[in-house]
Structure 1
């Protein structure tokens, strides 16, 4: 979907009549010309907010764009929404007429593609809730832990962690709204507008705008590779988020392992597998991907997995190749096939995924801090680490020095 200034004006008109809420976030639908839907995340993020509501809204509406009307809230909830937005491959767009400040900025950068008007994204220091009773030592430890989590998240989302340095320089009682140059510099936005697109309102009170701008899109090969990464990231998440992504990932008719079936048939099979193996880590081996695009894109590669069922006390581990035909015009899978190359009998730990983590950790820690490849390795390491945590594995224990830390089953 291409978003222009006309859409931004439409959002502004729609959001202007909705007062800011100081309650848990809600998700509202905004229809634009052609029947396409944009989701509006409104209100303050709270600890109990569940991003599964966003996944359900995407599955129901088919929306591919999210915008915000939020002045912040709980940092962890905002990052959970951001990760869900990324797993679903959604685009985020932000307007100066609305507001996305404080923790909301973390949710915004979850967008696979991000566009914002100058002055629409606000940052400042994080703060504790008024009822958080912490002594000096606890407060220092909590601040350090939160800072580390936010930095890890920003790197995971492809944002320069120097943004955090700027945020920490602004008191929590104040807000610093980013300029267009700063958003580009820090990687908060990923694209710049070009000209001439008309969008009219299908809902709301805004008049049509006859002059606007479209977002420059990445190459189809880059989009296809991004989709494959998002696909396996989503499949490694909890079942509601995983199925929320799958609901939007397939065409109405799919060539599925040599048989032409309906999208509903594919989803039933995916849902049955997810129910059988509720904890999953699927990670594509770095540099195994191949992509060729013409009218459609053929993407192939090698993926390693570890799956676990606590209820059945069973685990599965192995390696497989995969091949997808993906339609860049619809962002849907038209064909899927593959074969298992090896299964690790009686596997009880995600050794393959841990090995991938160590490979990327070595490139991250051993590379030059001035090299983009180093930062990309760090991004891959964090993404793999999140998958290991999803299957119940933790890195290090309290009181251990960095050189002592290893991956282990959480709680052991």
Structure 2
């Protein structure tokens, strides 16, 4: 088989995972080919322009960047902090109900958050303490485990429960089980789960370990926004790949992964849009698929296609987010008032099942978050203009099968319900 180009590594997709892998490998001397079906790199970490406004697509805040956070070491290695500014958010979030049953600001930092929650829910002090101890303990143990070489992990297996007690204690638990075991007040549970949509839509099917890693990062290191938008980070990582001899091709769709002698050896790809598809091939010793897992089997020949299809057959597609982007002539909240991220729920829930069910309620009744970029120096618009975004949990099946005209009409109807 002949190839148009030969590389060390081919990366399918240019989300932050692929960009980070590509940038690190490029700095190590590997020649990279990155193929992206969009016209810019970044996946959800992108921005777009509307008139005089820059809209943030999806990376509203990045967790962590504390001493334990693995991102810190990677960003320092890649020189990210020398080229980009990360703005620390003043608080974690505000959460309230439309019915007025509660209105609570989750402060930045573990100690501040714990103190504020215990002051509001003194009868739940023990559960609150257990919640934070578990979040921080699990996160610390996972990070320590990740840093150990495999031979050390193998030697540690007989005493694993002694070395990693928090991890062992929670590894088979879901988030709902944990909260129901340690916290009785449903209002407190709802406050703690205000930003659940960052990760999942159902606490009863969410891994406690995953939750601890993500939520623990926000409490330990805070939330951060990349000044100028997340596209700044994506573009910076893409530039590293190019500066070290790599190629990034946009508007390209990978049609197949080439398998030779049982190993991925290259890809076939073509233009994603346009009359002339211009089919091409590229060869590499390693192929990284930084794309949606359900799409990968269609790129593989049998028997590899069938094998992967079987292994993911019982997997359920995750929820997504509906985002409504808003440009303001002036800040939507008075100076000195309001929070960066405000989570709004219709009312206090009776149990966690009600929280999950609300994610599929009519849009007019569904909980949402409003992100107000005017609360920080986001660098997305010139004062007094500002931008914001409404977001809520949503699902692909709410939008499948619509014609282009019906899709546009539904977008208008849904967007108006949030105003």
Q: Which has the larger radius of gyration?
A: 2
TM-score range, shorter chain: under 0.3
